[in-house]
Each structure stands twice: as C-alpha cells, then as structure tokens.
Amino acid sequence: MATTIPAPPASALELAEKNFRPAAVEADLYEWWERSGFFKPDEGSHERPFVMMLPLPNVTGDLHLGHALGFGGYEDLIARWHRMRGEPTLYMPGTDHAGIIAQYVVEQELAKEGITRQQLGREKVLEEMWKWMDHYRPRIEKQLRLLGCSLDWSRPNFTMEPSKQRAVRTHFIRLYKRGHLYRDDRIVHWCLQCQTTYSDLEVKHVERTDPLYYVRYPWAGAMPAGTPDVVVATTRPETIVADVAVAMHPDDERWKALVGKEVLVPIVERRVRIIADEAVDPSFGTGALKITPGHDATDFEIGKRHGLPVISVIDKRGMMTPAAGSLAGPDRDTARAMMVSKLRAKGLIVREEQVTHAIGVHERCGTVDEPLVMKQWWVRMDRLAPPAIAAVRDGRITIHPRYQEKVFFNWMENIRDWPVSRQIWWGHSIPAWFCRDCDAVIVPDEDAPDPTRCPKCRSDDIYQDPDVLDTWFSSALWPFTTLGWPDETPDLRRYYPGSLLETGYDIVFFWVARMIMMGLEEMGDIPFHSVYLHGLVRVGSVKMSKSLGNVVSPVGLIEEHGADALRFALVNGVAAGADSQLSQDRLDHARNFANKLWNISRFALRQIDEHPEAFHGHTADQRPQAMGDEARWILSRTDAAIAESSRLIEGYLFGEYLAALEGFVWGELADIYVELAKPSLRSGDATETVRTLAYALDRVLRLLHPSMPFITETIALQLWQRTGKSEPSASLVVSRWPEPGARDSALEERFAVFVDVVRTIRNLRQQAGLDPSARARVSLAGETASIRELLGQIGELTRSEVTVGRGEGTATVVRAIEVRLAAKRDAAGERERLERELALARDLVRRSRELLGREGFAEKAPKEVVEKERAKLAEREERVRLLEQEIRRLE
RNA sequence: GGGCAACUAGCUCAGCUGGUGAGAGCGUCUCCCUUACAAGGAGAAGGUCGCUGGUUCGAGUCCAGCGUUGCCCACCA
C-alpha cells in the first residue's frame, strides 16, 4: 500500500442532501481510490493472493450492458470482497485487439468515405486500426472506471502490444515444434465480405427457404431395363460442375445394387462413381447425395474417405473459376440461375420444391458461408484437449453453476482441430516463412530473428505467411501473458495460476476452454481454480445485439441512476448463471434502495452529531455492549446478515446475497430498528442506541460495499469522520469484511412474536377505521410472556398504549395471544371475521395433528423438527381456543 | 440428430444441502405528506409451485416419463 494516502475527496465528505446524488461523488472517489493505490495487490502480504483477469473487452467500440453485468455486476463485487477479506487482490485490466471484428468495424468506417481496404493497402489500413485502438482504448478504460471496477491500472495490457506479440510468437513456435500446429489443405469457412476464413464457432445457422432442385444424373453406360434414374436433390446447382461422385447410404435398399456404377455429371458430362457412405441421410430428397468436396464440408470429409479429387469452381470473391467450364465467369448466384436454365433445357430437372433449411452465415457480418479448400494453419486438439478435460473432471478446476461442466465436457469430447489462420491484416502475424524455390515451411527457433534464407535449399527467395492469427489464439494466453510470460517474472511466479475466471457462458468454447488447454500446455498448470459463468442480460425480453439495434450503453444509465444502482440492479435476485433482464423497474428499485440506505445513514449521522459523547473512547466499528432488547436484537440480526452474506458469496450465489442483504437493511434495520431507536434517542441516555446504530451501519456498509462501492464509501467516510474507527485503513475499499458474532436466537424468536403482534395491531387498527395519527389503547392476553418486556416497543410501532390483561374492544388472536383494541365493535362484521380466522386456524391444527400422527414421523424425523411441530400444534390449539372464546363472548 | 436448462402470484423472477400457513420487486386495492427517506410509511388481496407416476415419515425442492419453451453443439444436401 502507498505510504502516504491523499485525503478523501471533499465532495464525498460533504454530501448531505436528502437524496443520494451519485454524480456528485463517483468520479472523485474513484480518482482517490486509484491514486491511493487501493487497487494494487498488497505485495507485502503473506496471504494467498486472489487473482482474476478481466475478460478483455474488444476494442471495437464502447462498452455495453453485457460488459457492465460481468465487470461491474460480478467481477468487481468478487474482487472487492476478496480484497476486504485481506487477500492481496489482483484484478487485472486489459483489452483485446479483436481481429476480424475490429477490422470489420474500421472497414465499415472507411466504407462511409467510399474507401475499400484494398484501395488503401495494408500499411495504411493498419495505421487506421491503430488510430481506432488509440481512440477507443482510453474510452473503454474510462468506462471501466465509471463502473467502479477496482482494476490495477498500474498493470495495463493490450493483446497487440509488443510484449504480447513476442508471447504469441513464442507460443506459436513452441506449439509448432511440439507438433500441435500443422498446415494443411482443408475445407474452411470463407467470408466473401470479410475476405477471410473463420472457425466453426463463428458460424451462425439461420433458417432460410430456398428452391430444392431434383436433378437427374444420366447413367454413364447402358443399364438393364427398369433401372431407376439417379436423381439428386440440391439447393446449390452451380456446384454441380464440381461434383466428383454420387453417394448413398450403405444400408439404403433402393440403391444398394447400384453402388460402384457410374453416372454422368450433367452439363460437364464427367463420369463419376456411385459410392456408399454413412454420412448420407437416406430420408432426405431421394437418398442420393451429390459429392462436391471443393465446396461442402460434409462432401469434403466423404471425399477424403473415398480418395476423391477436389475441384474448386468458386474463388475467394465468389466468382466462378475457369474450372467451372461453361459456368466460368459470373458470381455464384448468377451461375446458379444459369445452371438451372441449362438443366431445364436438357430436361434434367425432374422436380423443384421449396425447402426450409439451416444455412451457415458468418456471425460477424451475416454473409452466407462459402466453404473453400485452402491451405491453413491448424491447432491439433488430440493432445491438448484431454488434459483440459481431466482438469475439470478431477476437480482441479470447478465450473459454477456446476451444470455448465456438462456443457464443457460435451464440447471438449467432440472437439475438432482449430483453424487459426485469418486472411485479414489486423492481428498477430504468423512466424512462418515459405520458400518459393523448394516450398519449405520455415519456422524459426524461439529467440531467433526472422529468417532471411531457406535452411533447406539456401534460397533467399522466402516470404512470411501473409495471414494473421485468430484473435482467440492470443486471448487463450491471457492468464499468463498479462503476467509477463514468456519471461519468468515475479508477477508470473506470484500470481499464476489465477483464482477465478468470471465470464459469460457464451464464450466458454471460444475462450475458457482454450485458456485451460494453453495454460496446461505452456505453464504446465491450470490457469485458474474456478470459473463462474454468468447469464446473458436482455433488455426487456429481447436479447441485446448490435443487429437488433438495442445495445444499451451503461454510461447513460450510470449518469441517470448511479453506478451503484446499475451494479445492484444487474445482480440482485438473479439466479446463478441465469439470463436476466434489466428493466426500468429494476433500476428504479435499486436506486430507491440506495436512497433508503442513504437516509438511514442521514438519520444515524444526525443522531451521532447530537450525541458526540457516545464516541469518546468508542468507535463505530466496535460492537457495543448493549443491554436493551432492541439493540441486542439488531446486533444479533446483523450477525445473521454477516454470516448469510459470506455464505452466499462463497457459494457463488450473488443474486441471493444482495436480495438477503436488502431484506435486512430495509425490512429490519430501517423498518424496525430505526423506528425503535427513536424514543430512546429522545430520552436521556442515548449512548447505547447511537453506538448500536453506528455499528449496524458500519457493518451494513462493509457488507454492501462489494456491490455498491460509491455510496457505501461516501457514507463510511462521513461516519468514521465522526466516530473514528479502530481499524487503521483509510478507506472502506481496504477495510475488513466483518466476521459474524454470537447470535441470540431466543431473543430473535421473541422478536418474531413481537413483529407478528405489531402487524396484527396495525391490521386491527385499519379494520377498525381508527384515525392513523391518533393514539390507541391495546390490551394483550394469553401467552404474553415472550413479549412482556417489549410492550413499550410494540406501542411505539403501533402508536398505542399497550397493557397486559383483559380489555375491551375489537379483538383477534395472533399465535396464542389475544389482541384487543379499544374501538367500537361491529358485532356482525367482527363475528364474520373471527369465524373466518377460526376456520383457518382449525385447518392448521388439523394439519399439525395429521403430521404428528403420521406413521413414522415422530420416529424418523429429526428431533428438533418434531419438537418444533409439537410446539406449533400447542400454539395453534390455544389460538383456536381463544378464537372460540372470543366468538362466544360476542353473543 | 446430440446436449443443457427453464416451467412458481396479473408481469418479471428468487426459493442454495428435502422439514410443512410458498417469497420478492413491479402492478392492483385501502389508508397516511408521523421532522431519515412520498425515490417514503402501514395494511390487504392474489399461487391446486407445467402434467403423471415414483422414492420418502415428509417433495416446489430428489428420481422417471410426458408436455411446452429457450439456448448450445452437429457434416440436414
């Protein structure tokens, strides 16, 4: 920690308005936190560090709500909690150069000025890319600060910075030398728009209806009479010119006898064989599939199995190549129409129908996939995947919520090799050179400079692979490149492996799985111990996406409601891993809750100001030695809230944690304790009450700080300025998370009765139509022992004089206590009400008796459960008796 | 085709290791500007926890089957 800590901002110390105004304090507080070094891990600590890497946002534009959920909602909550637990906490910032997406975005910008990347050339486009990065990186970093993320900004990271380029080069070379990387001609997804390949994961399937043509392939030789025609169904007739076979399912009785015979590919008149392959679906079309290895992934695989040649008739721009013969020249759509009319002219189209099928499109731009066969770099998965599967299988890495592990296994166990070449310009260059004279592939040694001549044939006519690497190739290394790898840095030693990886479940395959594989490969150890996967945030009920134009900027929401309200609203009450939606209601509610806390604090601070003597020799963070019931009660409940909060956060139940905390702060501290505190504050000795109020507030601020850092810090500064605190920390950020004290469950049980009685009296008052501001008289009879000490408090919350004993007036029974309010009785109406209550009460008695009388219950259920049920039955029976008595009295 | 999950109040959703009048927010109704807060307070109404079986003394919670919905993966031409 910094040796001298600057003074906290005056704005936070002075804000005293009736409503909390986030804009007045947030920027100042963040700046103070950052400048004071609170977000740097304590290097001197011997505690085990907590390490979490930011899921590096793409430098493609501003942050959206999904980022706010992950970064501000979950990660910062988790980081702040660990920091408060005394763990040296490293929440590592960084951004991603975002390869294809970023280049696509910048190209769109250029297109607005009518410029294409080809016109500009590689150098200039890269200049534009860097300009974009230089513009958006600070903006993104600013937005992370607005969210309140406690990132260690002294350790900035960017995937394209020189140190990362060196790391990627090293990694590539090592993978290559170890045999995990190979180069091969294989079919890949090609984007005509982006002019690059992409991986299976980046293919989106969309439903589309297209004409399905049934095309007859004439027999090559004479066939016996009655031999059926071979008819294939296709949506892509333009690829017929690249057909090299027709395939049937081996078990298809219709065609079995014809396997091995030859047909003529229409128009090109090529003789091809009929083959049998399991991949053919006999129920589709006629059960005969045309095989086009050059332009279909399935066909490519089938072709490989049968040793068929590959014919490519479509080029990278989507134009028909000379190999297409009479179709050469036009684009693929025009060629399709041309082919259809040619086939029609020859009478080869036997049928045409509409078919709805799934077609692949590039998820970034929506362009229909064009499978092409190209020479590409591939990462072999056969040896990288098994250790990653094992790490999760044997629990070295746990994924929360746990069911996501099944999803992980399902994918990893069917994983396919990963194509990592991209034909764009923005990205990590590939440290591989090719020799024009002997075709050698040259990958230099790790620390060697770029090669200048071919080691095989000594030619100096070599060139570097012009492709760049998939973005995820570099982000897979994030857990260790951020720590200085491949150098053996102190950071790498201290902070690897990390503790937790928090991200959305939608990038498990893209990123999480690959980090695990590469961590194990390069570091020989898992990259993190746990993974927490949050759900997706929707706006209203619609998924947020750029194409739908409903991307919400968190910045506007922060300006309007404050970062705390946004952070709280995004997480409160959301089940682990579940998708959620952010609505105006949720935001308003969160803001209202923040305001509630603010006003509890204003009340407490005013009381402290009026009773300064309470803090001579005592501080807000010291648990007061309370005597009074209500003080002891709220202290016990505070301890319950502490224990509950810790338990829920440890269990990754963040939504529950906030919901439970809100219930405590609003429903118990504000609605009950603050009200009970008022009379004793007016009386002579307020010391105990003020101290209790301050202490409860101090605890609540700590408990809530991980989610609502700004408001809690503002209040804490104001509180501690008045009361002092025993802990030396200058800020709530680096204060200790509370430990729960001993609870008084007997007292809590008495207060549960108390709360029931209060509600019953208030209800009775309203039913009787009493003037809300008038004082009433209430008498309690029956089993009043547990609340005998709390009569004054009951009176305080119900504006009543409360006595024990028989009284007059309108009555009801709660638990086994008769409650009577001095008011005029409406005999008929009251009788009706009491009869209704009696019926319900009898039903409850019946249920209790049934449960207790059931065979096996008394023997098999835990003793406490049986005891509790017996007590409940007794109370219910007494309530029935009292209600009956009351009804009789009405007669 | 394979996998994962969801189905709880009018709406949006909690309910974690099974324990018995099923919770919240919003909305609805009644009342209240009580000097911390009207961005508030008090009270109320509202649910056969998708369906059918099973396990258990006991099931919203566990198991099986079914139905509906969503998502992911996959070589639907």
pLDDT the model gives residue A707: 97
Distance CA A851 to C1' B20 in A: 9
Q: Are A558 and A566 in contact (CB under 8 A)?
A: yes
Helices (H), A354-459: 385-393, 404-412
pLDDT means per 10 residues, chain A with 891 residues, are 80 94 96 96 93 95 92 96 97 94 90 90 94 95 97 97 96 96 91 87 84 89 83 90 89 82 88 88 84 91 89 90 87 90 89 85 86 92 94 93 91 90 93 93 93 92 94 96 96 96 92 96 96 86 54 88 95 92 90 96 95 94 92 95 94 94 95 93 87 96 97 97 94 96 92 94 91 91 93 93 91 94 88 91 92 89 92 94 92 76
pLDDT the model gives residue A664: 95
pLDDT the model gives residue A267: 87
Other C-beta atoms within 10 Å of A162: how many? 8
Name the closest nucleotide to A644, judged by C1' and CA. Answer: B16
Q: Where are the beta strands (DSSP E) in A84-229?
A: 89-92, 181-191, 196-198, 203-217
As a whole number of Å, the CA-based R_g of chain A is 36
Q: Are A202 and A189 in contact (CB under 8 A)?
A: yes
The conformational region for residue A37 under phi > 0 = left, psi -120 to 50 = alpha, else beta, is: left
Distance CA A847 to C1' B21 in A: 10
A177 beta carbon to strand B: under 7 Å: no
* Cα–Cα distances in angstroms (integers) from residue A444 to residues A67, A93, A421, A590, A777, in the given order: 39, 32, 18, 57, 93
**Measured in whole angstroms, how far is the alpha carbon of residue A586 from the centre of its chain?**
18
Name the closest nucleotide to A201, judged by C1' and CA. Answer: B73
**Residue A367 DSSP class:** P
A586 beta carbon to strand B: under 7 Å: yes
Other C-beta atoms within 10 Å of A658: how many? 30
CA distance A273 to A206: 33
CA distance A73 to A774: 46
pLDDT the model gives residue A744: 93
In the 819-858 stretch of chain A, whose C-beta falls under 7 Å of nucleic acid strand B? 840-841, 844, 847-848, 851, 854-857
pLDDT the model gives residue A1: 47
A208 beta carbon to strand B: under 7 Å: no
Q: Which residue is nearest to nucleotide B11 (CA to C1')?
A: A585
Other C-beta atoms within 10 Å of A848: how many? 19
A410 beta carbon to strand B: under 7 Å: yes
**Residue A573 DSSP class:** T
Name the closest nucleotide to A763, judged by C1' and CA. Answer: B43
A599 beta carbon to strand B: under 7 Å: yes
Distance CA A516 to C1' B7 in A: 35
Distance CA A853 to C1' B53 in A: 26
pLDDT the model gives residue A545: 54
Q: Which residue is nearest to nucleotide B17 (CA to C1')?
A: A651
A541 beta carbon to strand B: under 7 Å: yes
Nearest to A455 by CA among A470, A469, A445, A465: A445
Distance CA A332 to C1' B21 in A: 70
pLDDT the model gives residue A3: 62
A189 beta carbon to strand B: under 7 Å: no
Q: What are the tens digits of pLDDT across the range A329-382?
A: 899 889 999 999 988 998 888 888 888 888 888 888 888 889 999 899 999 999
A861 beta carbon to strand B: under 7 Å: yes
Distance CA A772 to C1' B31 in A: 8
* Cα–Cα distances in angstroms (integers) from residue A294 to residues A176, A191, A239, A291, A308, in the given order: 27, 15, 9, 9, 10
pLDDT the model gives residue A524: 96
| Buried-exposed string A832-844: b where 16+ CB fall within 10 A, e elsewhere | eebeebbeebbeb
Distance CA A166 to C1' B29 in A: 69
Distance CA A403 to C1' B58 in A: 28
Name the closest nucleotide to A674, judged by C1' and CA. Answer: B36
Distance CA A509 to C1' B4 in A: 14
Distance CA A681 to C1' B50 in A: 54
Distance CA A869 to C1' B20 in A: 9
CA distance A225 to A221: 12
A382 beta carbon to strand B: under 7 Å: no
pLDDT the model gives residue A553: 86
In the 467-496 stretch of chain A, whose C-beta falls under 7 Å of nucleic acid strand B? none
Q: Is the peptide bond before A237 cis (omega within 30 degrees of 0)?
A: no
* Token output for A140: 């993104």
Q: Which residue is nearest to nucleotide B6 (CA to C1')?
A: A578
- A299: enclosing H helix or E strand: helix A297-306
* Token output for A26: 């947030």
Q: Which bases of chain B are contacted by protein, using any atom under 7 A from a CB?
A: 2-6, 12-16, 19-21, 23-26, 30-34, 36-44, 56-58, 72-77
Nearest to A34 by CA among A93, A87, A74: A93
Q: Which residue is nearest to nucleotide B77 (CA to C1')?
A: A234
Name the closest nucleotide to A601, judged by C1' and CA. Answer: B36
Half-sphere CA count of A790, side-chain side, radius 13 A: 26
Q: Are A665 and A701 in contact (CB under 8 A)?
A: no
Distance CA A593 to C1' B28 in A: 22
* Cα–Cα distances in angstroms (integers) from residue A405 to residues A82, A397, A451, A843, in the given order: 25, 10, 44, 46
The conformational region for residue A440 under phi > 0 = left, psi -120 to 50 = alpha, else beta, is: beta
A596 beta carbon to strand B: under 7 Å: yes
- Which residues, other chains included, contact A47 with Cβ-Cβ below 8 Å and sequence gap of 6+? A86, A87, A88
| Buried-exposed string A727-746: b where 16+ CB fall within 10 A, e elsewhere | eeebbbbbbebbebeeebee
Other C-beta atoms within 10 Å of A786: how many? 18
Distance CA A432 to C1' B73 in A: 33
CA distance A684 to A185: 89
Other C-beta atoms within 10 Å of A822: how many? 16
Name the closest nucleotide to A861, judged by C1' and CA. Answer: B57
Q: Are A266 and A240 in contact (CB under 8 A)?
A: yes
Distance CA A841 to C1' B41 in A: 30
Q: Are A93 and A144 in contact (CB under 8 A)?
A: yes
Number of residues written out for chain A: 891
Distance CA A682 to C1' B75 in A: 79
In the 295-354 stretch of chain A, whose C-beta falls under 7 Å of nucleic acid strand B? 296-298, 301
A726 beta carbon to strand B: under 7 Å: no
A600 beta carbon to strand B: under 7 Å: yes
Single pTM value for the model:
0.93
**Residue A38 DSSP class:** T
